[in-house]
């Protein structure tokens, strides 16, 4: 929000200079992002009086003016409407105009011009000017030739760009900041004029002109209106234009400018309708109809879906409530009769509609955060008072106030002992009362002298509990006034627990294999599930959606880490980084009705790889394949001393290659999967390379982890190795044979490996040859060939009988 210091002074006397005010606001919790002068560079502007005007000798469309600014200067202009005696604004050399142009003395068609005659456009007080600005006759008596316009017009303003947190909608107004200053300085707020002269009142009541009906009181708890007839639409006075322009609001006309000005003052958006465009003379506040359309003031037509709140005449929409008025019912140059609206709308309703249609206005910004529902009467009186003074007209008696769902102030009990305990320092009871009253809270004494009853005004929706009041006392009293003290603590032995060390071991080992750790958002785009064909893998019933997402792209809590990793890989791949190894450890989410939050979080590890296996090794230029990637996985399991407990079982998972995908089990408990991403799925992420991915539940894996492995003596006796090649059907998993051999009832078998895989000449169609190495070793003696051969032959017989495979000769 932009805060004008000159405007702020209309509501409170500021006891500090600009620097001190900035520090006070920052220390009390109102961030000041920037301090600037909106008319910086115009400090030399002067009042000039035109003495003589002659035609330019060398240009028919120019005139030469002699202007008195305390001394006579010659100025060339194209405005032929100027007359002798006109008071104008003169920009001497060195002046920097609002558009950034620096004024310089220059020769124009042979005549030396010693500066520039200014229009309001060049001062930023008008969007488009056709003539040089001339002071009105009423101003003549107040002006002196050569007077500094920068100060007399109030252009010496200073603006604070404030950072207002979403929970403080009361600070989105100059009066809201004035209340903060009142609490900090014990100053007094100045009274705002809301009076309307008796001769400006009609003999008719507001209800003679309009009927108001609210069909959805939850979305619109209050709607007030006032009627003014006979207004004259025209430009606003300079003071009003200046206040609006200082904070970046474009002046339009007197009525619209007044509604914007009062919004700056009081923080409550106002809308003005051309009364004659309301054909039914009714205002009906209702939800939109699906497919209904409305043309707004931005010139765009919007199609509605039934969730938006509309201001209508009973049939046709006049405005999208709390966001923007309609093009056809707005204030126009020929408007004579005006209906003023001051309402309170439900913040979530306005927020959803604004985000859906991507409309952000000063009005929606305030209604989304919550305005005061109980200041509608004073706001509408202020608007009416200003319109009558600046645009003329007469006002219907009374205010049409429809308030079907009243919002009352909350009452909170505040204990002084609790204040002292939380803040860590005693605060006098009188100081507590002064701070709260300064912020606009009503404080009542309770029967218990140690407590206070505090009535919270409705412009402070953020204050609901005692702790909120204590925070208000702390920030206004000053956290710097709280004495510093070292926190008490007990010395205990620190360090990571077993699970944390387990995770760190995984991170360090994957780093050593060349994988880079990533941290992705926990929210993903639901469309990713369709790209992966994972709709059945993660059914709708198990998904966790965010109720009010910022956008669809981050509306689903991730059911898997793979999506974020693939997104990151895609981002790198499209930027020509093609050799990629990534991993992430994070939580995934699924519905769980038995838990308190109805959501179960599971910590998993996922890693992904594409491109060259060892990109910096010039002697080994092979790309990652399924076996090297699975080898990385097995190396990690080896590092964790879990490889002997792991089993891979072939499995078809949507989105993965049917013959290069496996579920992973640890002691027969499923812990994850590993596989190659289908090329068509990878291409949906703009990746045109083989991609391999794995995911494992490390919380479950940790259950089988032994941080300190069982010690094994280095073998004393040598092993004897026997190799055998078996003819195996293509759809058969060779791991079943390895498991069978390992479980063979003989303690002399130490290890079993697959050392060769062959398809080709001599191999029947539909079969492959796998060569197994079996290592025999005794802990008690050196084995003989005869002993090993006997066991080996027995193993071969049992394998052929059990699996129906043949030994390849």
> Tens digit of pLDDT for each residue in 675-697?
999 999 999 999 999 999 999 99
* Segment 66-78, tens digit of pLDDT: 999 989 999 999 9
Give CA–CA dist 799/742, Å, rounded.
Answer: 12
pLDDT for the residue 505: 94
The band of 492, judged by pLDDT with boundaries at 50, 70 and 90, is low
Q: Judge whether residue 619 has pLDDT over 90.
A: no
Give CA–CA dist 221/708, Å, rounded.
Answer: 66
pLDDT for the residue 764: 87
* Segment 497-538, tens digit of pLDDT: 889 999 999 999 999 999 999 999 999 888 888 888 777 778
Q: Measured between alpha carbons, how far is residue 343 from residues 229, 340, 380, 384, 407 in Å?
A: 21, 10, 10, 15, 13
pLDDT for the residue 593: 84
SS3 50: strand
Q: Judge whether residue 491 has pLDDT over 70.
A: no
Q: Quick one: what percent of the chain has pLDDT higher than 90? A: 65
Mean pLDDT across the stretch 178-207? 92
pLDDT for the residue 467: 94
Placement of tokens 């994988």 in the chain: 515
pLDDT for the residue 586: 95
Provide CB contacts within 8 A for 795, sequence distance 6+: 741, 744, 774
Instruction: Confirm whether pTM is higher than 0.75.
Output: no
pLDDT for the residue 695: 95
pLDDT for the residue 616: 77
The band of 139, judged by pLDDT with boundaries at 50, 70 and 90, is confident
| Crossing angle of helices 466-477 and 429-438, rounded to 10° | 90
pLDDT for the residue 479: 83
Average pLDDT, the chain: 90
Give CA–CA dist 691/611, Å, rounded.
Answer: 8
pLDDT for the residue 614: 83
Strand blocks (E) in 457-579: 516-517, 523-524, 544-545, 556-557
Mean pLDDT across the stretch 22-44? 91
SS3 367: helix
Mean pLDDT across the stretch 732-759? 85
Give the strand pairing for 211-214 and 282-287: parallel
Give CA–CA dist 22/35, Å, rounded.
Answer: 9
* Segment 336-386, tens digit of pLDDT: 999 999 999 999 999 999 999 999 999 999 999 999 999 999 999 999 999
Provide CB contacts within 8 A for 117, sequence distance 6+: 48, 65, 67, 75, 77, 79, 82, 88, 89, 90, 91, 132
Mean pLDDT across the stretch 612-636? 87
Give CA–CA dist 145/70, Å, rounded.
Answer: 6
pLDDT for the residue 460: 92
The band of 311, judged by pLDDT with boundaries at 50, 70 and 90, is very high
Q: How far is Cα of residue 558 from the mean position of the Cα atoms in its chain?
A: 19
Q: Quick one: what percent of the chain has pLDDT higher than 70? A: 99
Give the residue among 269, 233, 270 at the shortest CA–CA distance from 252.
233
DSSP 178-200: HHHHHHHH---BPPPP----GGG
Is the separation of the CB atoms in 414 and 423 below 8 Å?
no
DSSP 753-771: EEEEEE-STTS-TTEEEEE
Task: Please count the other Cβ atoms lying within 10 Å of the Cβ belonging to residue 56.
Answer: 17
pLDDT for the residue 703: 92
Q: Measured between alpha carbons, how far is residue 760 from residues 471, 626, 725, 729, 769 in Å?
A: 79, 21, 14, 14, 9
Mean pLDDT across the stretch 311-325? 91
pLDDT for the residue 557: 92
pLDDT for the residue 554: 87
Give CA–CA dist 171/365, Å, rounded.
Answer: 12
Q: Which residue has the higher pLDDT, 571 or 707?
A: 571
Give CA–CA dist 631/624, Å, rounded.
Answer: 10
Mean pLDDT across the stretch 95-121? 90
Q: Judge whether residue 577 has pLDDT over 70.
A: yes
Q: Judge whether residue 209 has pLDDT over 90.
A: yes
Is the separation of the CB atoms in 1 and 159 below 8 Å?
no
b/e code 156-190 from CB counts within 10 Å (16+ = b): bbbbbebebeeebbbbbbbbbbbbbbbbbbeeeee
Give CA–CA dist 223/211, Å, rounded.
Answer: 11
Q: Which residue has the higher pLDDT, 670 or 595?
A: 670
Q: Judge whether residue 62 has pLDDT over 80.
A: yes
The band of 186, judged by pLDDT with boundaries at 50, 70 and 90, is confident
pLDDT for the residue 493: 67
Q: Judge whether residue 43 has pLDDT over 70.
A: yes
Give CA–CA dist 362/267, Å, rounded.
Answer: 10
Mean pLDDT across the stretch 644-656? 88
Q: Judge whether residue 735 has pLDDT over 90.
A: no
Provide CB contacts within 8 A for 459, sequence distance 6+: 169, 170, 176, 267, 371, 372, 374, 375, 440
pLDDT for the residue 409: 94
pLDDT for the residue 449: 78
């Amino acid at each position: 929000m932009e805060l004008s210091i000159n405007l702020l002074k209309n509501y409170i006397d500021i006891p500090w200079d600009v620097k001190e005010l900035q520090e006070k606001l920052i220390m009390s919790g109102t961030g000041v992002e920037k301090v600037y002068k909106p008319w910086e560079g115009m400090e030399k502007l002067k009042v000039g009086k035109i003495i003589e005007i002659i035609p330019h000798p060398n240009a028919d469309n120019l005139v030469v003016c002699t202007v008195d600014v305390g001394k006579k200067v010659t100025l060339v202009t194209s405005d032929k409407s100027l007359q002798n005696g006109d008071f104008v604004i003169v920009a001497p050399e060195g002046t920097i105009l609002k558009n950034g142009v620096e004024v310089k003395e220059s020769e124009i068609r042979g005549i030396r011009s010693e500066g520039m005659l200014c229009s309001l456009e060049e001062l930023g007080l008008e969007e488009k000017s056709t003539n040089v600005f001339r002071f009105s006759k009423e101003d003549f008596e107040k002006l002196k030739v050569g007077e500094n316009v920068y100060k007399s017009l109030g252009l010496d303003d200073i603006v604070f760009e404030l950072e207002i947190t979403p929970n403080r909608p009361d600070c989105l107004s100059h009066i809201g900041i004035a209340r903060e200053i009142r609490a900090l300085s014990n100053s007094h707020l100045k009274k705002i004029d809301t009076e309307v002269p008796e001769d400006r009142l009609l003999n008719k009541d507001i209800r003679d002109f309009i009927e108001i009906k609210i069909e959805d009181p939850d979305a619109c708890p209050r709607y007030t209106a006032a009627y003014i007839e006979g207004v004259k639409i025209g430009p606003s006075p300079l003071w009003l234009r200046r206040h609006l322009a200082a904070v970046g609001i474009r002046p339009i006309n007197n009525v619209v400018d007044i509604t914007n000005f009062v919004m700056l003052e009081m923080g409550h958006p106002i809308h003005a309708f051309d009364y004659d465009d309301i054909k039914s003379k009714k205002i009906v506040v209702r939800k939109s109809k699906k497919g209904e359309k409305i043309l707004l003031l931005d010139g765009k037509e919007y199609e509605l879906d039934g969730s938006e709140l509309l201001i209508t005449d009973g049939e046709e929409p006049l405005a999208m409530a709390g966001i923007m008025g309609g093009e056809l019912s707005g204030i126009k140059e020929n408007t004579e009769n005006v209906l003023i609206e001051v309402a309170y709308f439900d913040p979530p309703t306005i927020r959803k509609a604004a985000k859906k249609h991507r409309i952000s206005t000063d009005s929606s910004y305030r209604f989304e955060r919550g305005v005061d529902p109980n200041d509608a009467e004073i706001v509408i009186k202020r608007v009416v008072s200003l319109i009558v003074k600046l645009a003329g007209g007469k006002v219907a008696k009374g205010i049409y106030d429809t308030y079907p769902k009243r919002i009352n102030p909350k009452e909170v009990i505040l204990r002084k002992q609790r204040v002292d305990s939380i803040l860590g320092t005693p605060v006098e009871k009188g100081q507590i009362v002064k701070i709260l009253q300064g912020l606009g809270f009503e404080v009542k004494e309770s029967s218990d002298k140690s407590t206070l009853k505090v009535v919270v005004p409705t412009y402070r929706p953020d204050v609901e509990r005692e702790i909120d009041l204590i925070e208000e006392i702390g920030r206004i009293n000053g956290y710097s006034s709280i004495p510093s003290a070292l926190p008490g603590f007990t010395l205990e032995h620190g360090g990571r627990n077993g699970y944390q060390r387990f995770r760190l071991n995984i991170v360090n080992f994957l780093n050593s294999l060349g994988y880079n750790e990533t941290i992705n958002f926990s929210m993903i785009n639901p469309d990713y599930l369709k790209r992966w064909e994972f709709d059945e893998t993660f059914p709708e019933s198990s998904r966790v959606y965010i109720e009010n997402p910022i956008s669809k792209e981050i509306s689903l809590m991730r059911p898997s880490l793979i999506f974020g990793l693939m997104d990151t890989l895609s981002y790198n791949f499209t930027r020509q980084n093609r050799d990629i190894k990534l991993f992430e450890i994070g939580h995934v989410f699924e519905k769980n009705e038995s838990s308190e939050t109805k959501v179960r979080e599971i910590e998993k590890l996922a890693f992904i790889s594409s491109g060259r296996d060892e990109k910096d090794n010039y002697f080994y230029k092979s790309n990652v394949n399924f076996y090297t990637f699975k080898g990385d996985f097995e190396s990690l399991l080896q590092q964790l001393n879990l490889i002997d407990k792991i089993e891979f079982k072939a499995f078809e998972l949507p989105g993965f290659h049917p013959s290069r995908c496996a579920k992973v089990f640890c002691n027969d408990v499923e812990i994850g999967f590993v596989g190659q991403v289908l090329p068509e799925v990878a291409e949906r992420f703009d990746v045109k390379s083989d991609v391999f991915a794995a995911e494992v539940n490390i919380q479950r894996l940790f259950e089988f982890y032994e941080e300190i492995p069982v010690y094994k003596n280095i073998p004393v006796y040598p092993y004897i190795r026997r190799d055998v090649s078996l003819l195996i059907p293509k759809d058969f998993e060779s791991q079943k044979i390895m498991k069978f051999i390992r479980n063979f009832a003989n303690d002399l078998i130490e290890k079993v490996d697959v050392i060769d895989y062959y398809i080709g000449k001599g191999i029947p169609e539909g079969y492959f040859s796998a060569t197994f190495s079996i290592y025999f070793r005794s802990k008690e003696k050196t084995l003989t060939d005869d002993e090993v051969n006997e066991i080996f032959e027995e193993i071969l017989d049992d394998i052929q009988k059990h699996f129906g495979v043949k030994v390849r000769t």
